[in-house]
Structure 1
Amino acid sequence: MTRGIGWFDAFREVAPDWSVVLLGLVTQLGDVWFLGLLVGIVYWTDRSDRDEAAAIVGITLSGLSLITGLKAVFALPRPERVLVETGTLPELTRPLYEATATATGYGFPSGHALMSTVVYLSLAEYWSVSTRRRRYLGAGAIVTAVCLSRIGLGVHYLVDVVAGVGAGAALLLLTWPLLNRYPASRATIGFTLAVGLATVTLIVSRATPDAVLLFGASLGAFAGWQLALLARAREEGRGPIRSNRLLTARAIVAPLAVGVLVVITAYSGPVSLAFRSITLGAAAATFVAVPVISRSEQVRNRGRQAPSGSQ
């Protein structure tokens, strides 16, 4: 069965060689490194909407697990075609083309399409920058551009990117009502969903390296957020932990998640992979917890200094 529609050859005939460089740059807007950097910057810098930004981090991890699981289930190859041969490009542009416009692994659905849909539409929904209408117009334009770049470069069929957008949209349509119903727990729900999807992906993919690493990152981020919420509760004067059931639960769940991560990854593959997964989990926990904990300490320190400064 073919997923092609037959228009690529006509596009290749009219597309100039330099277009691969432009398409390669555009496609980076949907690459994991760029989306991760974007979401990370939003999370660390947007103090006023930290919980919403944390929810976006959780949704992003969920999307990564979803695409990893879907690719493992369908296991369909990429198109055997290229827009231009590398040898026809100027020597200076060849490394850029090879780094940005080539792809390996399974082709269905498109990971760039799915992740662009998940991240940019989540930012449009929850990030309070500009107006809602402009955010959605911008998100739609970027997702469309990324999808077209994947088709134009010849690394995906049209069906692949349509399926990727559809899967990403389905994830959001199932997730957003839950997040909006419990706005005070959006981030916790987002990270919990990430852990759930990572677990399913670990099973359906038979513990591929990517699935094991995502499992570690998701559990680590979940544990880090529980620690961040404990720090926030301390800042707000709630506690002690043992007298508050919710805080007690968070204090138990955070180390429990770490224990689960160590045990499951230890049985999921080589020791080196387990070590990488645990290390990634620790890094994710630190990444999520540090900005909240550091801000809580700053608030507490200002509170201690206020009485002496007013005398």
Structure 2
Amino acid sequence: MSRGIGEFGPIQEQIPEWAAVIIALLTQLGDIWFLALVLTIAYWIGSPNRDDIGAVAGVWLAGMGLYKGLKEIFRFPRPDEPLLDPDLLPVGVQQLYEATAFASGYGFPSGHAVNTTIVFFGLAHVLTVSTRRRRFAVAAGLVATVAFSRVALGVHYLVDVVVGFAVGAFLLLAVQALSKYLTDRTTVAFAAAIALGGFFVVTSDVAMESVFILAASLGAFAGWQLIVLGRRLVAVELPSQAARPVAFHGGLAALALAPLVGTFELFPVLSVYVAGGLAGLATALVVTVPVLRHSPHARRAGVSLAFWLRAALAGLGHLLSPRTWRRALSALREYAERVRNRVRNE
């Protein structure tokens, strides 16, 4: 049974050929690569809002696990209603259009709708640029543009994008509600990402994409726990007070990192699981590095570490230099000669 309500004809008939390419480019605003780039840049440069941006990234990872898992459960096909025959376009434009205007896999719910709802509305909620009303207006415009492009291109029915919007909004509100009971919203978001990444792994029978999403969620969660641990350790006044945060946050980080590191021992080097482990560890670095780079405590520790490292390298270089060895050999010969002379005299 079709999920359509006759939406393609009235929309596609009004779109000229030249506008089809523009719509195909606009749909990239909801692609995973673009949203990952937006979140990474915002997280790395958004020092005052970094925790909240991290929470949005966690909800986004959770959203990917949820909607991809739902696709595997429902297995509803996409519509076969292309907006334009690529053969009608010039060769160069044709290749661009084919790369951006078509989609494969199951169609319900729309991943682009889920992703854009979480990322754009999430950032509108946590950022402080301009006014709140303008931020949400821009976010609504971007989400509507991407949703329209998916229907216009014929890769989703209208119900797909409506449900996708509802799924994204539900996750944002759910994490917001949970954060009222658990103080660290970012930890809640990354924990939800792990749970829903596992959901995708199960429903897809361990598909390659599910391994990467779960690994990225584990790496992000571990990296964030190390950040929280560092903040707790800086705040303690007595060494005895450090035991609890080390045990709790350090333990959580170790539990999340264990399966990522374990892939190197359990699977062949060129397997998808090792690639997932590497992706998870890289995600942990992406999460932790910008915080360490802007932390005064981390900078002081880094300066001290760099000083002692330079001192150690200088000492090692002096120890291994030929001049040092010649002096040592000369001193040994002199000492040996003194010993021989003493033995002879006795």
Tell me whether the two structures share a fold, i.e. TM-score over 0.5.
yes
| Structure 2: 5+ residue stretches without partners | 305-346
Check the 8 A contact 2:29/2:146 in 1, yes or no.
yes
- Counterpart residue number, 1:284: 283
Q: Distance in 2 between matches of 1:18 and 1:93?
A: 10
2:196 pairs with 1:214: no
TM-score when scaled to structure 2? 0.81
Check the 8 A contact 2:263/2:277 in 1, yes or no.
no
2:36 pairs with 1:9: no
Q: Distance in 2 between matches of 1:124 and 1:136?
A: 5
Q: Which has the higher contact order (CA 8 A, sep 6+)?
A: 1
> SS state of the match for residue 49, structure 2?
helix
Check the 8 A contact 1:232/1:292 in 2, yes or no.
no
- Counterpart residue number, 1:256: 255
- Counterpart residue number, 2:292: 293
Residues 6-45 of structure 1 mapped to structure 2, 5 A cutoff: 6-45=6-45
Query: Following TM superposition, by how much is the alpha carbon of 1:106 offset from its aligned partner in structure 2, in angstroms?
Result: 0.8
Which amino acid in the other structure matches residue 15 of structure 2?
A
Which amino acid in the other structure matches residue 142 of structure 1?
L
> Which deviates the most, 253-262 or 149-158?
253-262
Query: Following TM superposition, by how much is the alpha carbon of 1:220 offset from its aligned partner in structure 2, in angstroms?
Result: 0.6
Q: What's the C-alpha RMSD, in Å, of the aligned pairs?
A: 2.6
- Counterpart residue number, 1:112: 112
Check the 8 A contact 2:109/2:160 in 1, yes or no.
yes
Identity %: 42
Q: Distance in 2 between matches of 1:295 and 1:140?
A: 32
Query: Following TM superposition, by how much is the alpha carbon of 1:41 offset from its aligned partner in structure 2, in angstroms?
Result: 0.8
> Which deviates the most, 142-151 or 16-25?
16-25
> Which deviates the most, 106-115 or 126-135?
126-135
Q: Distance in 2 between matches of 1:178 and 1:162?
A: 24
Query: Following TM superposition, by how much is the alpha carbon of 1:172 offset from its aligned partner in structure 2, in angstroms?
Result: 1.6
Query: Following TM superposition, by how much is the alpha carbon of 1:115 offset from its aligned partner in structure 2, in angstroms?
Result: 0.7
Q: Distance in 1 between matches of 2:295 and 2:57?
A: 20
Which amino acid in the other structure matches residue 225 of structure 2?
Q
Post-superposition Cα deviations, 1:205-235, rounded to whole Å, max 9, x if no partner, equal: 2211111111100001100111122333444
Q: 1:46 to 1:40 in 2, by over 3 A?
A: same
Count of paired positions: 304
Q: Distance in 1 between matches of 2:98 and 2:240?
A: 53
- Counterpart residue number, 1:88: 88
Q: Distance in 1 between matches of 2:274 and 2:248?
A: 27
Which amino acid in the other structure matches residue 76 of structure 2?
L
Q: 1:269 to 1:128 in 2, by over 3 A?
A: farther
Q: Distance in 2 between matches of 1:139 and 1:277?
A: 32
Q: Distance in 2 between matches of 1:167 and 1:92?
A: 37
Query: Following TM superposition, by how much is the alpha carbon of 1:32 offset from its aligned partner in structure 2, in angstroms?
Result: 0.6
Q: 1:246 to 1:27 in 2, by over 3 A?
A: same
Query: Following TM superposition, by how much is the alpha carbon of 1:36 offset from its aligned partner in structure 2, in angstroms?
Result: 0.7
Which amino acid in the other structure matches residue 162 of structure 2?
V
TM-score when scaled to structure 1? 0.89
> SS state of the match for residue 200, structure 1?
helix
Q: 1:239 to 1:159 in 2, by over 3 A?
A: farther
| Structure 1: 5+ residue stretches without partners | 306-311
Q: Distance in 2 between matches of 1:181 and 1:213?
A: 30
Check the 8 A contact 1:233/1:239 in 2, yes or no.
no
Query: Following TM superposition, by how much is the alpha carbon of 1:302 offset from its aligned partner in structure 2, in angstroms?
Result: 9.6
> SS state of the match for residue 19, structure 1?
helix
Q: Distance in 1 between matches of 2:237 and 2:65?
A: 35
Residues 102-251 of structure 1 mapped to structure 2, 5 A cutoff: 102-182=102-182, 184-236=183-235, 240=239, 243-251=242-250
> Which deviates the most, 259-268 or 142-151?
259-268
